[in-house]
Amino acid sequence: MSRTNSLPAGAPKIGRLVVVGLGLIGGSFAKGLRDGGYCNEVIGFDLDARSRELAVDLGVVDRCAESLEEACRAADVIQLAVPILAMERLLAELASLDLGNAVLTDVGSAKGNVVRCAREQFGRMPSRFVPGHPIAGSEQSGVTAAQSTLFRRHKVILTPLEDTDPAALALVDGLWRALGADVEHMEVQHHDEVLAATSHLPHLLAFGLVDSLAKRNENLEIFRYAAGGFRDFTRIAGSDPVMWHDIFLANREAVLHTLDDFRADLDALRAAVDEGDGRTLLGVFTRAKAAREHFSKILARRAYVDVMHSKDLIFLANPGGSLSGSLRVPGDKSISHRSIMLGSLAEGTTEVEGFLEGEDALATIQAFRDMGVVIEGPNQGRVTVHGVGLHGLKAPPGPIYLGNSGTSMRLLSGLLAAQPFDTTLTGDASLSKRPMNRVAKPLREMGAVIETAAEGRPPLTIRGGQKLSGMHYDMPMASAQVKSCLLLAGLYAAEKTSVTEPAPTRDHTERMLQGFGYPVTVKGNTATVESGHTLRSAQIEVPADISSSAFFMVAASIAPGSDITLEHVGVNPTRTGVIDILKLMGADIELTNVREVGGEPVADIRVRAAQLKGIDIPEDLVPLAIDEFPVLFVAASCAQGRTTLRGAEELRVKESDRIQVMADGLQALGVSATPTPDGIIIEGGSGIGGGEVWAHGDHRIAMSFSVAGLRASAPIRIHDCANVATSFPNFLALAERAGMRVGVEDNS
């Protein structure tokens, strides 16, 4: 029988598919490809006559063969979907047949074993054999449970060998993709180790625990008292015992390896319980909780992406609206990072409140957890850091991943330069493009050994065991990250370390060091520390982030009729450039209830709509408003007349090239915005149109164009907005509450 459905472009099309083993997996593979019209003919074979009959009746295959030889005659693809321990016999039989040019593939959940058997039976691994493993299943089994959608959005791992025929690999890959699977390629051994750790070990533990308890309680009475935790943990002990018996025998080596590692960890936990070592227990539990939450987020994101069918998170900013009411934006990002860093290096327990639960600050928490610091939370902005002292960090188990966070990478490189162990710092695509020589170069002058990728980009490898010597450094650029990095290195360097900045930048590191009882001298633009002191734990209250507040300051200024109050905002004078610039433009901004909280000035900020005018932005305000320029460009677009920014070349090396990206977006919306090497010229007042703009994964660009929507004549679609979660996870909720008309585009 031949089918003539029209297939999507690039879809595979084969003549004869043979599926050996008509269970849930083999049946679903056959049915999916048959239903989709990807094969001219699907032939099934199974030792069980009833399964053969059912497969034909249920439309899983076109017909079944009576023998393996008959099934495989003139096959294009042969899928081996028999239980893993039956594979050896099947391969022995196949090796005696003339398989012509057929491509072989399989679905076994341990790959080393399949490859070994194939080598033994065929004399060598056939180059047209592509080992595979779909990570999918169902509570039911057998051909009656077969469904053509079983693999949709499930992972399928292919483990080609060095001499696997690329055409055969591409064909098998294409068939799985045609079924909607998410296909990955991996080395055989790696596959077996990953599966042993994430699937086989948990099943062994579940079976083992239930049996152990059941054995000790002959009448099973104990289970009457088992609550949700036991049920959740042991659900998988209800899986097919024969299949799992096969898997453990087939993946013996990898399972033993991961089991031994786990036994060692279990012994350490036992010892901690025995010795009443609460810190170790808390360390294991908090790290596990964080890892588990990370895992849930990956799953949630996958579910989310499933809904969106794309990785591009699009915000839609609808025109109009005005802002009113009071709101408190999340905690300051810079202060949140530093609270974890200094809290970890302090003696004693530091309590943090108002911590920013954004991805960047969470990356810093994870980094210190990786280095053995016990950190509880964050839980509604509360974090408890059990400091280990300046010399208490431990080598992390692997590279430290810092996501999108430049602050984490630059500050950490300073304090890691003097540790006794090596570290590697990595990040996402955006962070991997950012310049790190600005910290690597002066750190090397202090005696650090740091390797970078080409052109001083991440990853950074920092060699441990170096003796640092203090120095004086005249910073070539106004950067709080570079200053902070060197001051943190200075805590470990012989003699004094001093840094002079060309213009004042945020001074949270200096203030917080003092708050932890560590002496810092600041004279003019020079900050100095010396080693030999200790940090003592502190209570930290993180104020609301002025950089996040800035979106609402501009929004309320440009949207007629607006009147909002931003509560508890950090107004450290090294951060208030945005207020000064907006005021120069004619904004109506009032600071009330100014007070000092934990060494940082804080105020409530009332902003009312006002007609703005274009200005020449004073260059001395640039470092004091460095993160707020994207949204200030939106203010300039709504202002009467020309706004000119100079001396802001640093904007080109932020999470994106903020000058170019904003100029491109504003131009797309019909605003006259001309980028210059160190700034931009914006002719304001002639209106903002609707259209498509790209945030380039930069959180502040995404939020700035969301604000532009208030004054746009038509909707603005903003692409690539997922990174808003790095600094302002609840931005959309707060924006909506305040009266903005921005949300995630609904493309359901």
Residues engaged in binding ligand S3P (CB under 6 A): 334, 407, 479-481, 484, 506, 626-627, 650
Place of tokens 């070539």: 476
Could you give the CA distance from residue 391 to residue 439 in angstroms, rounded to a whole number? 22
Smallest CA-to-CA distance from 238 within 256, 265, 211, 263 is with 211
We find the least distance from the C-beta atom of residue 13 to ligand S3P, in angstroms, to be 52
Comparison of 475 and 671: residue with beta carbon closer to ligand S3P = 475
We find the least distance from the C-beta atom of residue 658 to ligand S3P, in angstroms, to be 10
Could you give the CA distance from residue 415 to residue 397 in angstroms, rounded to a whole number? 18
Comparison of 388 and 626: residue with beta carbon closer to ligand S3P = 626
We find the least distance from the C-beta atom of residue 698 to ligand S3P, in angstroms, to be 11
Judged on CB neighbours under 10 Å (0-12, 13-18, 19+), 35 is middle
Catalytic residue among 62, 545, 627, 720: 627
Comparison of 164 and 481: residue with beta carbon closer to ligand S3P = 481
Ligand-binding site membership of 481 (annotated)? yes
Could you give the CA distance from residue 421 to residue 380 in angstroms, rounded to a whole number? 34
Assess whether 370 carries a catalytic annotation: no
We find the least distance from the C-beta atom of residue 547 to ligand S3P, in angstroms, to be 7
Could you give the CA distance from residue 603 to residue 590 in angstroms, rounded to a whole number? 10
Comparison of 87 and 499: residue with beta carbon closer to ligand S3P = 499
Could you give the CA distance from residue 409 to residue 341 in angstroms, rounded to a whole number? 12
We find the least distance from the C-beta atom of residue 292 to ligand S3P, in angstroms, to be 29
Angle between helices 406-416 and 480-490 (to 10 degrees): 20
Residue 188 belongs to what H/E stretch?
helix 188-195
Residue 420 per-residue DSSP state: S
Could you give the CA distance from residue 408 to residue 396 in angstroms, rounded to a whole number? 15
Smallest CA-to-CA distance from 746 within 720, 723, 717 is with 717
Pull the structure tokens for residue 131: 């080992």
According to DSSP, the residues that pair with 613 across neighbouring strands are 640
Judged on CB neighbours under 10 Å (0-12, 13-18, 19+), 238 is exposed
The residue count of the chain comes to 748
Q: Are 343 and 537 in contact (CB under 8 A)?
A: yes
Ligand-binding site membership of 432 (annotated)? no
Q: How far is CA 639 from CA 332, 465, 583, in A?
A: 28, 55, 12
Comparison of 339 and 484: residue with beta carbon closer to ligand S3P = 484
Comparison of 192 and 360: residue with beta carbon closer to ligand S3P = 360
Pull the structure tokens for residue 742: 């921005």
Q: How far is CA 649 from CA 238, 438, 477, 619, 665, in A?
A: 62, 14, 10, 11, 18
Comparison of 90 and 480: residue with beta carbon closer to ligand S3P = 480
Q: Are 712 and 668 in contact (CB under 8 A)?
A: no
Residues 6+ apart with CB under 8 A from 120: 88
As a 3-state breakdown, the chain gives helix, strand, coil percent values, each rounded to 5, of 45, 20, 35
Ligand-binding site membership of 338 (annotated)? yes
Ligand-binding site membership of 434 (annotated)? yes
Ligand-binding site membership of 627 (annotated)? yes
Place of tokens 């810190």: 279
Alpha helices in 64-155 (DSSP H): 68-72, 87-95, 111-122
Q: Are 520 and 513 in contact (CB under 8 A)?
A: yes
Rounded to an integer, what is the distance from CA 311 to the centroid of its chain? 12
We find the least distance from the C-beta atom of residue 493 to ligand S3P, in angstroms, to be 20
Pull the structure tokens for residue 84: 């893993």
Comparison of 366 and 481: residue with beta carbon closer to ligand S3P = 481
Comparison of 91 and 480: residue with beta carbon closer to ligand S3P = 480
Comparison of 386 and 700: residue with beta carbon closer to ligand S3P = 700
Comparison of 126 and 358: residue with beta carbon closer to ligand S3P = 358
Q: Is 705 left (phi over 0), alpha (psi -120 to 50) or beta?
A: alpha
We find the least distance from the C-beta atom of residue 611 to ligand S3P, in angstroms, to be 30
Ligand-binding site membership of 479 (annotated)? yes
Give all strands of the β-sheet with 14-20 in edge-to-edge order.
63-64, 39-45, 14-20, 77-80, 103-106, 129-130
According to DSSP, the residues that pair with 603 across neighbouring strands are 569
Place of tokens 């909280």: 597
Ligand-binding site membership of 697 (annotated)? no
Q: Parallel, antiparallel, or unpaired: how do β-strands 155-158 and 132-134 relate?
A: antiparallel
Which segments of 331-446 are extended strands (E)?
Answer: 349-353, 374-379, 382-386, 400-401, 423-426
Rounded to an integer, what is the distance from CA 68 to the centroid of its chain? 47
Catalytic residue positions, numbered: 627
Binding site listing for phosphoenolpyruvate: 333, 406, 434, 481, 658, 700
Annotated binding site, which residues?
A: 333-334, 338, 406, 434, 479, 481, 627, 654, 658, 700
- Residues annotated in the binding site for 3-phosphoshikimate, as ranges? 333-334, 338, 479, 481, 627, 654
